[in-house]
Amino acid sequence: MRVGVLTGGGDCPGLNAVLRAVTRKGISVFGHEIIGFRNGWLGPIEGLTTPLTLDKVEEILNRGGTILGSSRTNPYKVDGGVDRLKATIAEHRIDALVAIGGEDTLGVAEKLTQEGVPVVGVPKTIDNDLDATDYTFGFDTAVHIATEAIDRLRTTAESHHRALVVEVMGRHAGWIALHSGLAGGANVILVPEQEFSVERVVDWVQQRFERQYAPIIVVAEGAIPEGGEELLAGGEKDAFGHVRLGGVGTWLADEIANRTGKESRAVVLGHTQRGGTPTAYDRVLATRFGLHAIDAITDGDHGKMVALRGTDIVRVPLSEATAALKTVPKERLAEAEVLFG
């Protein structure tokens, strides 16, 4: 078999581990030929290919990003994109395709499956918001990076008696904010799933100052104040209709300073959460996903996504994985709130 593979959407640690696993097992166990498509869905649209050999994946397990490159290209938004994609697959005699990505990339994969293109999906997103899987690789690394940042910021906050607001990624789901905030001992955690009261945040901040400690507030980029709306870093939409969020951390820091009279600073972690070496957990999870994805390809079990359920890797329909976002449930937020202030 000739198997195509691509990485789409935002990069994250662990992508190369999947490519390594797909290539090693695909070649060594099944005798497949593995063809990499560059730059996400743009690769099969424009015929951007590179062979993936055992030598090419030998030293990539611990590398962040993706050796294939990525993009937020949507074939359904490109003039003739789907037809050109199908033509490329036919030209290169691709028997099946492994698509590694999040809701947008796998949403395209699900549509292509309905049109007869044989695709198997691998879930990737640092936001951990893909449904039908307990965890996605990249999330653990992002949480570790954010937690380390909180630990470092706490010492400087205490030294200068400041409130520090840490803005992390999370457009519609607050998993990074929740997990890093809990792990870092944040005094307030704000997520997109629940609008927040500025007055209540200020009250928690005051309580912390009264105890002679500096408050740490972790806020997801998509968090919304009561009666407000998302703060946008830019007005342009990408090919999947997303605008770039950002600025809620700075806005909240200013509100805290104005209402308390205390010095307040904001730190936006941004793309540092995506970069660098993946954690051991993400390397193992990504590797297992890759091994099971090439199994599904070999079995001809297309239209599926490999998913983590408990400690097992299972196959679920792509339609199930992309039907809805996995957001933080209210009971998880209630658990955290008892630690605030």
- pLDDT, one tens digit per residue, over 95-140 is 999 999 998 999 999 999 999 999 999 999 999 999 899 999 999 9
Which of 60 and 336 is assigned the larger pLDDT? 60
User: For 250-254, what is the mean pLDDT?
Assistant: 93
Confidence at residue 228, expressed as pLDDT on a 0 to 100 scale: 73
Q: Is 70 exceeded by the pLDDT of residue 237? A: no
Q: Which two tokens stand for residue 238?
A: 């990408």
User: For 36-65, what is the mean pLDDT?
Assistant: 96
Same-domain status, 17 and 89:
yes
pLDDT band per the 50, 70, 90 thresholds, residue 253: very high
pLDDT in tens, 282-300: 999 999 999 999 999 999 9
User: For 152-170, what is the mean pLDDT?
Assistant: 90
| Known binding residues | 10, 103, 125-127, 162, 169-171, 221, 265, 271-274
pLDDT band per the 50, 70, 90 thresholds, residue 28: very high
pLDDT band per the 50, 70, 90 thresholds, residue 238: very low
Same-domain status, 150 and 195:
yes
pLDDT band per the 50, 70, 90 thresholds, residue 244: low
DSSP letter at 62 equals T
CA–CA gap between residue 99 and residue 112 (Å, rounded) = 11
The CATH number for 27's domain is 3.40.50.450
Query: Do 54 and 22 form a contact (C-beta atoms < 8 A)?
Result: no
| Known binding residues for diphosphate | 10
Confidence at residue 24, expressed as pLDDT on a 0 to 100 scale: 98
Q: Which two tokens stand for residue 144?
A: 């570790």
Residue reference for tokens 């593995």: 34
User: For 220-229, what is the mean pLDDT?
Assistant: 86
Same-domain status, 159 and 221:
yes
Angle between helices 330-337 and 175-183 (to 10 degrees): 20
CA–CA gap between residue 70 and residue 247 (Å, rounded) = 26
Confidence at residue 245, expressed as pLDDT on a 0 to 100 scale: 59
The CATH number for 183's domain is 3.40.50.460
Assess if residue 336 is contained within a domain: no
Confidence at residue 287, expressed as pLDDT on a 0 to 100 scale: 98
Candidates 79, 83, 104, 127; catalytic one: 127
pLDDT band per the 50, 70, 90 thresholds, residue 229: low
Assess if residue 337 is contained within a domain: no
Assess if residue 23 is contained within a domain: yes
Confidence at residue 242, expressed as pLDDT on a 0 to 100 scale: 47
Whether 83 sits among the annotated catalytic residues: the reply is no
Domain final residue pick, 251, 275, 299: 275
Same-domain status, 260 and 169:
yes
Same-domain status, 229 and 309:
no
Q: Is 90 exceeded by the pLDDT of residue 157? A: no
Confidence at residue 336, expressed as pLDDT on a 0 to 100 scale: 82
Q: Which two tokens stand for residue 195?
A: 């609008």
Q: Is 90 exceeded by the pLDDT of residue 199? A: yes
Same-domain status, 26 and 97:
yes
User: For 68-80, what is the mean pLDDT?
Assistant: 93
Confidence at residue 230, expressed as pLDDT on a 0 to 100 scale: 58
* Domain enclosing residue 45, as ranges: 2-137+278-322
Assess if residue 161 is contained within a domain: yes
Same-domain status, 97 and 215:
no
Same-domain status, 63 and 104:
yes
- The Cα-based distances of 309 to 51, 153, 257 in angstroms read 32, 35, 44
Kindly report the number of other CB atoms within 10 A of residue 135's CB atom: 18
User: For 319-325, what is the mean pLDDT?
Assistant: 89
Candidates 178, 98, 105, 151; CA nearest to 267 is 151
Q: Which two tokens stand for residue 239?
A: 């090919």
Same-domain status, 36 and 164:
no
Assess if residue 39 is contained within a domain: yes
pLDDT band per the 50, 70, 90 thresholds, residue 341: low
**pTM for this prediction:** 0.91
Same-domain status, 178 and 252:
yes
Same-domain status, 100 and 115:
yes
Q: Is 50 exceeded by the pLDDT of residue 69? A: yes
Domain final residue pick, 238, 254, 275: 275
- Burial of 264 per CB tally in 10 Å (0-12, 13-18, 19+): buried
Assess if residue 329 is contained within a domain: no
Same-domain status, 165 and 131:
no
Mean of all residue pLDDT scores within the chain:
92
Assess if residue 203 is contained within a domain: yes
Report the number of distinct structural domains present in the chain: 2
- Burial of 300 per CB tally in 10 Å (0-12, 13-18, 19+): exposed
| Known binding residues for Mg(2+) | 103
pLDDT band per the 50, 70, 90 thresholds, residue 340: confident
